[in-house]
Amino acid sequence: MDRAPAGSAPRDPGSEPRAHSAWFLAALCVLVWASRMVLPGDLPYSDLDRSWCMGLAHALEHGWRFGVDTVFTFGPLGCLSTGLYLEHLFWIKVLVWEGAFQLLVAVVVTMAGASIETRLLRVLYFLLIVASPIDPDAYAFLAIVAVLTWIVRGRDRRVAAGIGAAVLAGLSLVKFTYSVAALACVISSTAILWRSTTRRLASAFFPGFLALTALAWRLCGQALADLPTYVARSLQLSGGYSGAMSSPAPPWTKGVAIALLASAALAVALARTTTPRSSSGAQPSFRSCSDRARSRAPRPASLARPSESWACASPIPDSSWNLAPGWPRTSQP
């Protein structure tokens, strides 16, 4: 076997698969971002819907106090989530909201989809996102769930928590129901991070979310003193909104809901019983595509001398390197 030239660093066998994976994820992110972009005129509105869209824009432009001067289910950033043409907010809508913020949302949604281990499910996930009709509410709730998924299964939890906190803070000021779901996501993420080895990150995630939400609130021209009033009156409004605007559900709805919950509980129970455990009783951690590519890659030339022992600092078991007989092994650190 040819040896590497003297003085040259050994080539990382997983660098090329990692580069290909990064470019592929970037392309998927751009595709998701472009397919979910809501530009002026993309969504049809009735005359009634145009009225509240224009009312939200007027309130934001003239510095109305949300929760005091106006009370609605949408927050200060609600007008930017619509597809209505707003003359004075056009460039903020196109560049800041759709160009910057929605790109962060696309990153979160893409990274959550990339963590799906089954290839068929990954393909279906991205096909449904790209090909389905634009629904701002459904996409917002998907982004909130995607933040939790990326934090739980992502490799770099600091990046996931930072981008996720920014996305949750922005969505919380779009619609009050988004803020309730975002708060549940923040609490769940904090609990998961606290139970893992990243307690410092867990202790910073919740305050970071609150700080970014307060910063966005101030950038919208709102006073921090009005934030408790906004929350209290939005709770009152959303509490009566369901009774005033909804219609009775069919009698079989509760049965279907109970069956779905039972199916979800059964799936979780089966997953817990079929997941292999290590000798210490802990479940194995998820490995990314780049980890698996690195474990299958050929050994570098610097390791091609059977007379020398070596140690693998990766958590991947040494059996995945498929060492030939006669190669000395060392215990994992």
Output the pLDDT for position 304: 45
d(CA 253, CA 275): 33
The yes-or-no verdict on residue 288 having pLDDT over 60 is no
Give residue-wise pLDDT tens across range 42-94: 676 766 778 888 888 888 888 899 988 888 889 999 888 888 888 888 898 88
Which tokens hold the place of 78?
């609600």
DSSP, collapsed to helix, strand or coil, labels residue 175 as strand
Residue 4: which of 302, 309, 297 has the closest Cα?
A: 302
Strand positions, DSSP E, the chain: none
- Alpha helix ranges (H) inside 115-198: 119-131, 136-153, 157-172, 176-195
Residue 66: which of 179, 226, 177, 215 has the closest Cα?
A: 226
**With 0-12 CB in 10 A as exposed, 13-18 as middle and 19+ as buried, what is 263?**
exposed
DSSP, collapsed to helix, strand or coil, labels residue 66 as strand
pTM of the model as a whole: 0.69
Residue 75: which of 60, 97, 58 has the closest Cα?
A: 60
Are the C-beta atoms of 299 and 13 separated by less than 8 Å?
yes
Give the Cβ contact number of residue 67 at 10 Å: 22
Which tokens hold the place of 107?
């990153």
pLDDT band at 287 (very low <50, low <70, confident <90, very high): very low
Element (H, E) at 30: helix 15-35
Q: What are phi and psi of 70, to 5 degrees?
A: -145, 140
Are the C-beta atoms of 171 and 178 separated by less than 8 Å?
yes
Provide the residue count of the chain.
Answer: 333
DSSP letter, residue 70: B
d(CA 239, CA 183): 17
Give residue-wise pLDDT tens across range 106-129: 999 999 999 888 888 889 999 999
Position with higher pLDDT, 28 vs 278 = 28
Mean pLDDT of 223-234: 90
C-alpha R_g of the chain: 25
